């Protein structure tokens, strides 16, 4: 379904709902909006292990809420910041501006990390990027540890709630990842994230001049140190797991002695990779949960008649998937433990606020690809691409000769964009569109490349109206996107993170990366499973409609009518 058709069908359903009811807002406004984002939770993963889930985590949401079983992101670059901001704003990346975890800023002539902002330092000195954290190497592009939401070009659900209530609504977000927290807190809220450098939850002076005292007290207890000398062990008997006999696969990554088999040792607190290893396991989600519960208690969320907002982004599923793959014993055990964490969070919210007073939505910033080695076992072609080698290929040598160029034609690759050497192109008085097209044609000849489109062609907008081209256009912002958008073939991707070889990397427009759950629950939401195609841009306008406030400024989605007890298309 194209975006245009999705929008028209959604508007028809919305108009029908408006005629049936003069107000879309819930009859009793919720006291708390709880937006849960599970990083890399592909849409099928909860169902895969459903028979072993507890009663009060995923099962509560799946059995008591409105579950959309065919939900997808509609943008092509399915990376963390892109999906988080899409869920928060209801806008496509072309509009909200977060087109990738990093992009090349030609005005500053350097690669930018998505939420870096040197105007706003971290409140904890020395708590910036952990230079040993190879698994999150995208942060290394940042020239400072300053962080803010300033690069997000539109409003979020939390922003709109704050605007509507004259700032009385409390808006917070928590995650292991800085970009997971900052994106959900929006411009008007406050964000906290886990610092691998300090082992604490931190924030920047965009949000506070000094930490609230309860944060200082929580960090002083050094909760991360509680895992010192311990290991990630299996929750159940190994024989009960679907992947119980697959605990040691050649494609899995052994980072800093964490190992490829259970138990996975964290080492001693203070060790070079100690805090990084915590994030590669359920410990990362457990720390996020503990901080979120303390925030709810100390900030008294949901305790008055003004709705508050809390975004909680659980990151461990993503990190575990990168290192071990989604079809691994580690991912399976991590999801069973995440289920317990969700149950703990929901029980705490029920105690503090009441689930009947809480509007819950759960989704994911992106899905997850299978490891090529795993797919190869089933006879499915899959592999790894190496963009760093492209400019060195004979085809490019011939192309440079044709243009009379003796220097590198490609200046760099920041997924998913190729950046051309504009200085060389200008010196030789070549037309940018001509070079883009020629380079794109050569890229299409390389193994693993499915599509390559120049930015000039995207600006002109004369491309065939295909789902793939539409997804690329949804991701295209002329001020931030690179010169050529590259799409790898299904099951092909880059597996090198600054020298660290990982098992799997998301970031494609293929269904395994776009497929996510969307579940609304609590606050009188009906229990039902809906099997029609919906998009993640629909989440934010559904939340704002339930709250009776205007949608975020760049919202492209429509309210999901079934959440209001009406029938969809």
The first and second tokens of residue 198, run together, are 């300090």
Question: Which H, E and C letters describe 376-403, residue by residue?
Answer: HCCCCCCEECCHHHHHHCHHHHHHHHHH
- Cβ atoms of 482 and 112 within 8 Å: the answer is no
Question: What are residue 358's phi and psi, to 5 degrees?
Answer: -120, 125
The first and second tokens of residue 439, run together, are 């380079």
Task: With CA atoms as reference, report the closest residue to 35 among 130, 220, 198, 172.
Answer: 172
The single residue of 66, 80, 89, 276 carrying the catalytic annotation is: 80
Known active-site residue 80: yes
The set of residues, in sequence order, having a beta carbon less than 8 Å from that of 154 and lying 6+ positions away, is 89, 91, 95, 96, 97, 552, 553, 554, 555
Report the share of the chain in percent with pLDDT over 70: 92
CA angle 174, 177, 183 (to 5 degrees): 65
Please indicate whether residue 106 or residue 509 has the higher confidence score (pLDDT).
509
Which pTM does this prediction carry? 0.94
> 248: exposed, middle or buried (C-beta count within 10 Å: 0-12, 13-18, 19+)?
exposed
End-to-end CA separation in angstroms for the chain: 13
Cβ atoms < 10 Å from Cβ of 13: 21
Q: What is the mean pLDDT of residues 107-135?
A: 83
Q: Cα(197)–Cα(127) distance, rounded to whole angstroms?
A: 5
Q: How large is the angle between the packed helices 329-352 and 282-298, nearest 10 degrees?
A: 10
Q: Cα(536)–Cα(519) distance, rounded to whole angstroms?
A: 11
Specify the pLDDT at position 20: 44
The first and second tokens of residue 373, run together, are 């080695």
Question: What are residue 542's phi and psi, to 5 degrees?
Answer: -70, -45
Establish whether the linkage from the previous residue to 144 is cis, with ω within 30° of 0: no
188 pLDDT tier (thresholds 50, 70, 90): very high
Q: Which of 133-147, 326-340, 394-408 has the lowest mean pLDDT?
A: 133-147
pLDDT (tens digit per residue) in 217-261: 999 999 999 999 999 999 999 999 999 999 999 999 999 999 999
The set of residues, in sequence order, having a beta carbon less than 8 Å from that of 381 and lying 6+ positions away, is 375, 491
Establish whether the linkage from the previous residue to 263 is cis, with ω within 30° of 0: yes
Q: What is the mean pLDDT of residues 423-427?
A: 92
Q: Cα(2)–Cα(190) distance, rounded to whole angstroms?
A: 35
Question: DSSP secondary-structure letter at 314?
Answer: E
Specify the pLDDT at position 351: 98
- Cβ atoms of 400 and 406 within 8 Å: the answer is yes
Task: With CA atoms as reference, report the closest residue to 370 among 45, 73, 39.
Answer: 45
Q: Cα(455)–Cα(437) distance, rounded to whole angstroms?
A: 9
Please name each of the domains of the chain with its CATH number: 3-374+509-562 (3.40.720.10), 386-446+449-488 (3.30.1360.150)
The first and second tokens of residue 401, run together, are 């000769």
pLDDT (tens digit per residue) in 503-531: 999 999 999 999 999 999 999 999 999 99
Q: Cα(490)–Cα(509) distance, rounded to whole angstroms?
A: 9
- Cβ atoms of 90 and 539 within 8 Å: the answer is yes
Q: Cα(18)–Cα(108) distance, rounded to whole angstroms?
A: 48
396 pLDDT tier (thresholds 50, 70, 90): confident
Task: With CA atoms as reference, report the closest residue to 230 among 195, 281, 294, 291.
Answer: 281
Q: Which of 23-32, 251-260, 261-270, 451-460 has the lowest mean pLDDT?
A: 23-32
Specify the pLDDT at position 276: 96
């Amino acid at each position: 379904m194209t975006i245009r058709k999705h929008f028209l069908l959604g508007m028809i359903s919305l108009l029908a709902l408006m005629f049936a009811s003069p107000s879309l807002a819930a009859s009793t406004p919720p006291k708390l909006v709880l937006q849960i984002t599970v990083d890399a939770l592909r849409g099928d993963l909860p169902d895969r292990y459903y028979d072993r889930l507890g009663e009060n985590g995923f099962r509560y949401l799946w059995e008591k809420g409105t579950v959309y079983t065919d939900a997808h992101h509609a943008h092509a670059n399915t990376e963390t910041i892109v999906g988080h901001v899409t869920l928060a704003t209801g806008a496509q990346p072309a509009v909200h501006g977060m087109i990738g975890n990093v992009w090349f800023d030609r005005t500053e002539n350097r690669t930018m990390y998505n939420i870096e902002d040197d105007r706003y330092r971290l409140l904890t000195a020395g708590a910036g990027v952990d230079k040993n954290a190879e698994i999150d190497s995208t942060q290394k592009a940042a020239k400072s540890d300053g962080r803010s939401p300033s690069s997000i070009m539109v409003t979020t659900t939390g922003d709109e709630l704050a605007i509507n209530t004259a700032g009385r609504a409390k808006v917070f977000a928590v995650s292991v990842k800085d970009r997971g927290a900052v994106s959900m807190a929006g411009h008007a809220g406050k964000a906290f994230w886990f610092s691998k450098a300090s082992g604490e939850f931190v924030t920047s002076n965009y949000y506070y001049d000094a930490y609230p005292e309860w944060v200082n007290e929580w960090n002083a207890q050094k909760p991360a140190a509680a895992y010192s000398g311990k290991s990630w062990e299996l929750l159940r008997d190994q024989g009960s797991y679907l992947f119980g006999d697959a605990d040691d696969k050649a494609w899995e990554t052994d980072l800093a002695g964490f190992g490829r088999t259970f138990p996975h040792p964290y080492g001693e607190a203070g060790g070079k990779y100690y805090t990084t290893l915590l994030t590669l396991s359920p410990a990362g989600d457990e720390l996020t949960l503990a901080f979120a519960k303390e925030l709810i208690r100390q900030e008294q969320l949901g305790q008055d008649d003004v709705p508050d907002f809390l975004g909680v982004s659980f990151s461990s599923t993503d990190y575990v998937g990168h290192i071990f793959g989604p079809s691994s014993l580690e991912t399976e055990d991590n999801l069973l433990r995440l289920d317990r964490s969700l149950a703990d969070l929901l029980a705490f919210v029920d105690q503090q606020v009441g689930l009947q007073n809480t509007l819950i939505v759960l989704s994911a910033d992106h899905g997850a690809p299978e490891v090529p080695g795993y797919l190869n076992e089933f006879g499915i072609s899959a592999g790894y691409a190496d963009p760093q080698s492209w400019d060195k290929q004979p085809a490019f040598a011939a192309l440079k000769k044709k243009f009379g160029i003796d220097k590198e034609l490609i200046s760099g690759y920041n997924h998913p964009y190729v950046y051309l050497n504009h200085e060389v192109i200008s010196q030789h008085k070549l037309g940018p569109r001509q070079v883009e097209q020629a380079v794109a044609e050569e890229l299409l000849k390389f193994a693993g490349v499915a599509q390559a489109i120049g930015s000039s062609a995207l600006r002109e907008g004369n491309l065939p109206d295909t789902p793939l081209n539409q997804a690329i256009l949804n991701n295209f912002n002329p001020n931030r996107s690179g010169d050529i958008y590259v799409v790898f073939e299904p099951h092909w991707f880059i597996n090198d993170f600054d020298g660290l070889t990982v098992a799997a990397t998301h970031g494609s427009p293929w269904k395994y990366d776009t497929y996510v759950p969307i579940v609304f629950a609590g606050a009188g939401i009906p229990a039902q499973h809906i099997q029609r195609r919906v998009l993640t841009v629909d989440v934010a306008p559904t939340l704002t409609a339930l709250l009776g406030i205007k949608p975020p400024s760049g919202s492209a989605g429509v309210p999901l009518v079934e959440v209001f007890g009406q029938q969809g298309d």
